[in-house]
Amino acid sequence: MRLGVIDVGSNTVHLLVVDAHWGAHPLPAVSHKVELRLAEYTKDDGTIAEEGAAALEQFTQECLVVAEDQGVERLMGFVTSALREAGNGEQVLERVRVSTGVDLTVLSGEDEARITFLAVRRWFGWSSGRLLVLDIGGGSLEMASGIDEDPEAAVSVPLGAGRVTRNLLPGNPPSREDIRAARKEIRLTIAQRLRDLTKVGAPDRSVGTSKTMRSLARVTGAAPREDGPYVRRVLEREALHDLVPRLATMTNNQRAGLPGVSASRAPQLLAGALVAEGAMDLLGVESLDICPWALREGVILDELDALRRTPTPS
């Protein structure tokens, strides 16, 4: 079966087409994405501006064309914090549905954590024992822990790299005072949800997912993407402690010169590092294995599981 999934994140909107069936490794076929930065279209009253809604509508239409060209049998779509929290999010989604026929599903933060956890479990397997998964997106930080495919604890907090940058780290680079205040706010927010994770038991393996974690690992010495998905990549807490003071004094242009950091992601790198460092410190995690699968792959796997459970009409 050829599946397509549209991932509407706070930074990027991404169509991933895969060849997949239940019990098999989904094989990526086509990737189509744009740096829409939907969160930056949020107005002071918490609604998405007309320009943002129109851009999402146009890109969804593009995704339809790509999906048809690629022979996609089933097209899914989901949205995360940028639209989940927007005051007019439902209206924007209805506009997209009427215009394109694509029904974009709103995922809660806990859903994001749970589905990402499923992807990580499938990637690393049962031999990893109890997993702890940390996923830094543009709008939120998801954390989950468990021994099965469905986590025993799934937590979402508003600490995405884009959100922290916009709300807590003005300046290029930010001032020492703002960085200290951001660091304090990040750790207070994570600490409020620590017990949800720690009460289910210590992890046997800790994992980081998504672009921010991959970028931090690459900057601290992990293998480049060109080496393929099966090369082990790790983000070490000690290396992150050394990196944060460096990032704090660098401009966005200087950060964009680091390995694996694009110009569009460079402004958010310090915020991502502060969030990752805070989570690892508070959870006592010395290193994170970087997983190439995250929410998009989890949505595909979850859909395949659901199709498997659905009885075939006689």
Q: What angle do CA 196, 155, 209 make, to 5 degrees?
A: 120
- Both tokens assigned to 58: 């146009």
Chain centroid to CA 105: how far? 16
Element spanning 210, H or E? helix 210-219
In whole angstroms, give the CA distance from residue 61 to residue 110.
28
Question: CATH 3.30.420.40 in the chain, residues?
Answer: 2-106
CATH superfamily of 2-106: ATPase, nucleotide binding domain (3.30.420.40)
Return the CATH architecture of domain 109-296.
2-Layer Sandwich (3.30)
Give CA–CA dist 72/70, Å, rounded: 6
Give the CA distances from residue 24 to residues 19, 84, 105, 255, 284, in Å, rounded to whole numbers and listed in that order: 9, 32, 25, 39, 35
One-letter identity of residue 98: V
With vertex at residue 261, the alpha carbon angle to CA 40 and CA 124, rounded to the nearest 5 degrees, is 100
Residue with tokens 């048809």: 68
HSE of 234, CA atoms in CB hemisphere, 13 A = 10
- pLDDT tens, per residue, the chain with 314 residues: 899 999 998 888 999 999 988 888 889 899 999 888 888 898 989 999 999 999 999 999 999 999 999 999 999 999 998 899 999 999 999 999 999 999 999 999 999 999 999 999 999 999 999 999 999 999 999 999 999 999 999 999 999 999 999 999 999 999 999 999 999 999 999 999 999 999 999 999 999 999 999 999 999 999 999 999 999 999 999 999 999 999 999 999 999 999 999 998 999 999 999 999 999 999 999 999 999 999 999 999 999 998 887 765 55
Asked whether the beta carbons of 109 and 82 are under 8 A apart, the reply is no
Q: How many other β-carbons are positioned within 10 Å of the β-carbon of residue 77?
A: 22
Query: Where in the chain are all domains bearing CATH 3.30.420.150?
Result: 109-296
Beta bridge partners of 135: 142, 209
| pLDDT score recorded for residue 97 | 95
